[in-house]
Structure 1
Amino acid sequence: MAAPPLLTLQDVALTFGGTPLIERAELTISPGERTCLVGRNGSGKSTLMRIAAGLAEPDRGVRFMQPGTTIRYLAQEPDFSGFETALAFVEAGMAPGNEHHRARYLLESLGLSGAEDPSRLSGGEGRRVALAQALAPEPDILLLDEPTNHLDLPAIEWLEGELQGTRAALVLISHDRRFLSALSRSTVWLDRGVTRRIEQGFSTFEAWRDAYFEEEERDRHKLDRKIAAEEDWLRYGVTARRKRNVRRLGNLHDLRKQRREERRPIGTVSMASSEAEASGSLVIEARGISKAYGERRIVDGLSLRVMRGDRLGIVGANGAGKTTLVNLLTGTLAPDAGTVQLGTNLRMMLLDQARAVLEPGQTVTEVLTGGRGDTVTVGGQNRHVIGYLKDFLFTPEQARTPVSVLSGGERNRLLIARALAQPANLLVLDEPTNDLDLETLDLLQEMLGDYAGTLILVSHDRDFLDRVVGSVLVSEGKGRWIEYAGGYTDMVAQRGEGVQARAANRGRSEAREKPPVIEASASPTRARLGFKEQHELKTLPARIEKLEGAIAQLRAILADPGLYARDPARFEKASATLVEAETGLAAAEDRWLALEMLRGAQGQ
């Protein structure tokens, strides 16, 4: 017999102002649950999480928690006031009987000593301390709101491993697709105030959501046709039998009311960049550049060329010097040795993850217009600021809202709107994905795909890197940076390990054998392809095509919104087969890329 739920929310509703934020939400958390809570920015995910944690009261609904159940909640912006050290903050969240050595273990695992002053922590350090407080008591339920924000790749991968091994039930809110896919077994979708649940992890959610929207659109067209038919009857129909006609007219009014009161999906983000005239073919050329602060070498002898249209990703652990490297490449900071040459007709736009350009006292309109009027120039055309804000999901009422009251996701969307309104042919984006919802990430990805200029992207989002960049520049420690072809997954396949593995094994010999790579300064000697590898290279395209066809068929099956209710076994089999096929496709593509690189290096 299944264990009873630890926590249940039933028919929860909450209204802010005049618009209902949550109308009919349900949430059930059982022992060992692994659930992701997904939805648009502003849909009420964090509010529902706070209600589940007992920190907010709904207007209506029931919250029931089994007696003796312990809950720990990770907020997006923890309050450190009143604590002298990071360790004191973590220990304050522990119950009597908890082993306090675990607090030190978690802090040390996250790269902290515990003696840090909470008032002076950076965003990433603050997130690590808050995570340690949530994890330390080993609670029955963990409610984590954007746990990967401001974390570097080693910390994200460490957190994945820690959560996979915990006995606690998990409810996760995150924009990191790979993180959600690795940890979730069920998905709760909060959409227009209502929750819908699927007993599958995040990897199947987007196909299910799109199928639901398609079915909803078909129903909307049916309702429109029915209204049109009734209106046609009203104008031209027979007037006999007055009572029947009155009833039919009443039905028409009911249909119109149903159409008016129907809550549609929140508007889609519409992104377009203001591109400047094309830059020269050569955008950046670094020759043997080095930079050090005292004994610490940030960059050592790096040579790199960035050509027009390149998409370069920069990854590394916090403190590796990513921001310093970007400043060197863009001419903001002079190197200690070597030279950096910038191309001609270069117009650069920097999106700063610290959001330093946003003044808390400014209104949303003032951020976009600089306080001059109500128009903004985008792509050479003047647009009213409210119309432009609607493209980024802001309401007209928010145009005069101070920046200080915006959520993290809203601030990031505003910063992206500001950056894209300024003509540029070189975009430098430093952690642009923080606090964005998945749909906005999709639109940002599409915009960058269509962008004709050059992109330098600093990110810890592995999935976003895979989707956007053409090469990845990775910190190898001691000022050494190496460029790998492809996205993050391609880099791991070529390198043989991720950023976390490298950071965890710094004591190993630098001279150990490594797989073929493309270095920014030089190319190592590679072996020639053997007969078996040549045959594999010839047959891989056909295998990739076959897998792509199978994936398309499986997605078509899963696109049926009624499949799960009608035939759960078939749905689960198709979902598992889809994951297996996608994994096989990724492995085949990685292998093909590695063999092509070997062949190209030797001219075979």
Structure 2
Amino acid sequence: MTLLRAADVQLSFGSRTVFQGLTLTIEEGERVGLVGVNGSGKSSLMKILAGVARADAGELQLRRGARVTYLPQEPEFAPGATVASELSVAQGPLREALAAQAELTRRMESTPTQGQEKLMEQLAALSDRIEQLGGWDTEHHAKTLLDRLGVKDWDRPVAELSGGLRKRVAIARALLTRPDMLMLDEPTNHLDADTVDWLEEELDKLPGSLLLVTHDRYFLDELVDRIVEIQPGAGVISYPGNYEAYVEQKLVAQENAAIAQHKRERWIAQEVAWLRKGPEARRTKSKARIERARKLMEEKGFQRPKVAGLQVMQAPRLGHTVIEAEGVQKSYGERNVLKGVNLLLQRGERVGLVGPNGVGKTTFLRVLLGELPPDSGKVVIGKNTKVAYYDQTRASLDPEQTVYEAASPRGDDWVELGDQRVALRDYLDDLLFPVPMQRMKVKALSGGERNRLLLARLFLEGANVLVLDEPTNDLDIVTLNILEGLLLNFTGSVLLVTHDRYFLDKVATSILAFEGDGKVTRYEGNFAMYRRLKEQAEARAAAAPSPTAKKAEPASVAEPKQARKPGKLSYKDQRELDGMEAAIEAAETRKAELEAQLVDPSVYSNGTKAAEVQKDLDAAAAEVDRLYTRWQELQNQAAGT
């Protein structure tokens, strides 16, 4: 059954048409992901569907009695609201159902037996409604939600909370309403990876339909069964399946459209050649065919979507020392944020920093950059190291400047890209900031557009170390893919804070995990490898007998000295395991050096040389995989698994 239908919706801002002729239908229980480039109108469409904004034209139909909950990117709260009062508001429908049930129960007591049948039916319906709204122990459920989201203060005013905590309260409020349709606009912003995993599970259990805008591709893969893509200035295209299926279908559709366009252009060329032969030739053709040819030439043919052309200015080669931190300590009062943290950043490494909010990731970056002094320990920056820093608050962007003024770090009208000198206005046009938009003030841009502008400016600084604190927030998926490719081809080093698991899996060569109370652990590999290694370590710790249990064992059950205990490595294997970390680091470094060579113009323009480097790179990648496999074998053997 159809839950919501929008027909021929149109929306414009000034002379710019956001979408027109847009028609969308959502069925009961359907899970839909809404995607599109920044500025295509995803948030605007969601507001229209939620009834909090009006379209210029079109029709909106919602199933009678259906309840909709909408969570915007920046949630709003009533003045003076507390955490408890907001969750109480979310439970309003449940309280009404409970009151109605109590009233029916009271009436049952005074109604003769023969008249109770209808009341019993009403009570059964109310019981189903109460269960649908979350059951009977609602306060316990609400507090469990808040605790899992990291919100501890039940009676604290919402106005005193940080932006991240406010978003978490709003998520809890939305989940508690258990509506027929839940609309979420970028719900994963400000959430750490573990909390995003938990939110996936909660949304998967919710009844009703889901409409979701998010740049988190794993989130889309896990939760949606249809992707709807907004076409800028037009309507929508629907693709069945999750995000992975959408990508495959879209690639096929684009290739088919490109083939059809090629055939169309060839046919037009033939017709134009004939038309140029003059009146005598045209008399031999039917008027209908001439008219058909003219209409075909007037039609807009297929064009591949334009994407943001992010590029990095050439940077000086890094020296032997890039950034080194040794024994870094940082505390705020009695709270340890960093406790004896070490980091050796090497050429070509891309290190992802992960962990819950507030455990010190941004603090560590600021210590490395010299913005905060450590309480103890030292940080060494290489003499050839030039750092560009992306601050998640985007504080370096002046909201009163125009896009053109904000784009160039030095105020130049030209930018140097490789061996080319490009006009700034042309560079901005390639970044999807056309000339009229270049005159707009920064404060008029969307969050994604501001993010793209700051990244573009950052990459023009000629840095060989990129320090990026939450660069993926608000970016559309197309731009995320471009940023991934850019970082993979970057010849310098990268320190990256992001909660985007897909992005870390594509980009990171190692993970620095901030585990609380100042503890930081390094894991080689991407995010998926880090999760596996962490789970294995936790499983081994849980399976290991406690010291008390060991003391309680009777001496008579001890193994003879000459027999090796299960899980104990031989001397040779232990030495191999002890040296494995250094071997993996060396292999990763070799692989990164070869990757850097392969993107060097002097190499990839030389076919023979490129083939040699590619062969060496394949061998280096195989060696890295072999070392990881052997390391895992030794770890399992040591643990007796």
Match of 1:486 among 515, 522, 525: 525
TM alignment of 1:512-523, pairs within 5 A: none
CA contact (8 A) 1:368 1:376 kept: no
Return closer, same or farther for 1:510/1:194 CA change in 2, 3 Å cut-off. farther
How far residue 406 of structure 1 moved from its aligned partner, in angstroms, is 0.8
* 1:469 equivalent in alignment to 2:469: no
Q: Which amino acid aligns with 1:160?
A: E
Does the alignment pair 1:67 with 2:64?
yes
Q: What does the per-residue CA deviation read over 1:384-417, in whole Å, with 9 as the maximum and x for residues that have no partner?
A: 2221112222222110111111111101101111
- Which residue matches 1:209? 250
- How many pairs align? 523
Write the mapping of 1:400-415 to structure 2, written as runs, cut at 5 A: 400-415=439-454
What secondary structure does 2:494 align onto?
A: strand
Q: 1:349 aligns with which of 385, 388, 394?
A: 388
Q: 1:527, 1:598 within 8 Å by CA — same for their partners in 2? A: no
The reply to whether residue 14 of structure 1 matches residue 14 of structure 2 is no
Q: Report what 2:43 is aligned to.
A: 46
Question: Which residue is 2:629 aligned to?
Answer: 595
| 8 Å contact kept, 1:81–1:119 | no
Distance in structure 2 (CA, Å) of the matches to 1:314 and 1:255: 54
* Residue 413 to residue 69, structure 1, CA distance change in 2 (3 Å): same
Question: Do structure 1's residue 185 and structure 2's residue 225 form an aligned pair?
Answer: yes
What's the offset of the Cα at 1:222? 1.8
Change in Cα spacing, 1:367 to 1:9, as seen in structure 2 (3 Å) is: same
Structure 1 partner of 2:555? none
Shift of 1:149: 1.0
Equivalences for 1:305-344 in 2 at 5 Å?
305-344=344-383
| Residue among 262, 274, 283 paired with 1:233 | 274
AA at the equivalent of 2:181? I
Residue 368 (structure 1) aligns with? 407
Deviation, 1:46, is: 1.5
Shift of 1:19: 4.0
Whether contact under 8 Å (1:43, 1:190) holds in the other structure is: yes
Q: In structure 2, do the counterparts of structure 1 residues 406 and 292 end up closer, same or farther at CA, with 3 Å as the change threshold?
A: same
Correspondence 1:147 to 2:169: no
Q: Name which of 18, 27, 30 aligns with 2:27.
A: 30
1:132-166 superposed Cα distances (whole Å, 9 cap, x missing partner): 22222111100111110121223212211111111
SS at match of 2:329: strand
Correspondent of 2:174 among 134, 142, 153: 134
**Which of 480, 502, 526 is equivalent to 1:441?**
480
Aligned-partner residue type, residue 179 of structure 2: P
- Asked if 2 retains the 8 angstrom alpha-carbon contact of 1:363 and 1:400, the reply is yes
Letter in 2 for 1:170: L
Unaligned runs of 5+ in 2: 96-135, 550-566, 574-621, 637-641
Shift of 1:92: 3.8
Pick aligned residue for 2:328 from 286, 289, 295: 289
Q: 1:601 and 1:70 mapped to 2: Cα distance? A: 53
Greater Rg by CA? 2
Asked if 1 retains the 8 angstrom alpha-carbon contact of 2:470 and 2:498, the reply is yes
Report how far residue 420 of structure 1 moved.
0.7
Which of 145, 153, 158 in structure 2 is aligned with 1:118?
158
Deviation, 1:108, is: 3.0
Q: Which residue of 1 aligns with 2:75?
A: 78
The CA distance in 1 between the partners of 2:353 and 2:287, in whole Å, is: 69
One-letter amino acid of the counterpart of residue 492, structure 2 = G
Contact 1:274 1:380 in 2 (8 A): no
Distance 1:20 1:314, change over 3 A: same
CA contact (8 A) 1:493 1:590 kept: no
What is the CA deviation profile of residues 414-456 of structure 1, one whole-angstrom value per residue up to 9, with x for unaligned ones? 1111101111011001111111111111110111111011100
Which of 78, 85, 89 aligns to 1:88? It is 85
Cα gap change, 1:465/1:371 in structure 2, threshold over 3 Å: closer, same or farther?
closer
Q: CA deviation at 1:276?
A: 2.0
Deviations 1:511-535 (A, max 9, x none): 99xxxxxxxxxxxx994799xxxxx
Shifted more, 89-98 versus 294-303: the winner is 89-98
Q: C-alpha distance in 2, partners of 1:132/1:347?
A: 43
**Structure 2 residue aligned with 1:428:** 467
94-103 vs 131-140, which deviates more? 94-103
User: Does structure 2 retain, via aligned residues, the 8 Å contact 1:320–1:475?
Assistant: yes
Give CA deviations for 1:353-375 in whole Å, capped at 9, x if unaligned. Answer: 11111122111111113684643
Long gaps (5+) in structure 1: 513-524, 531-587
Q: Flag the 1:97–1:108 CA change in 2: closer, same or farther, 3 A.
A: same
Q: How large is the Cα RMSD of the aligned pairs? A: 3.2
Please give the alpha-carbon distance, in whole angstroms, between the structure 2 residues aligned to 1:148 and 1:284. Answer: 31
Partners in 2 of 1:126 and 1:206 — Cα distance? Answer: 33
Return closer, same or farther for 1:146/1:57 CA change in 2, 3 Å cut-off.
Answer: same
CA distance in 2, matches of 1:115, 1:591: 51
1:331-356: per-residue Cα shift (whole Å, max 9, x none)? 33222222222112111000111111
User: How far apart are the structure 1 equivalents of 2:26 and 2:287?
Assistant: 50
Distance 1:395 1:225, change over 3 A: same
Letter in 2 for 1:129: V
SS of the aligned residue for 2:155 comes to coil
Runs of 4+ displaced beyond 6 Å: 508-512, 588-593, 599-602
Separation in 2, partners of 1:423, 1:510: 55
- Is the Cα contact below 8 Å between 2:311 and 2:456 reproduced in 1? no
TM-score, length-scaled by structure 2: 0.75
CA contact (8 A) 1:312 1:472 kept: yes
From 128, 140, 160, the counterpart of 2:200: 160
C-alpha spacing 1:78/1:599, structure 2 compared with 1 (3 Å): closer
Does the CA contact (< 8 Å) of 1:315 and 1:458 recur in 2? Answer: yes
The 1:491–1:376 alpha-carbon spacing in structure 2 relative to 1, beyond 3 Å, is same
Match for residue 241 of structure 2 among 194, 200, 206: 200
Alpha-carbon distance in 1 for matches of 2:310, 2:154: 43
Question: Paired residue for 1:564?
Answer: none
Residue 194 of structure 1 aligns to which amino acid in structure 2?
G
AA at the equivalent of 1:157: D
- Give me the whole-angstrom Cα distance separating, in 2, the residues matched to 1:114 and 1:388: 50
Cα distance 1:414–1:231, how it changes in 2: closer, same or farther (>3 A)?
same
- How far did 1:107 drift? 2.8
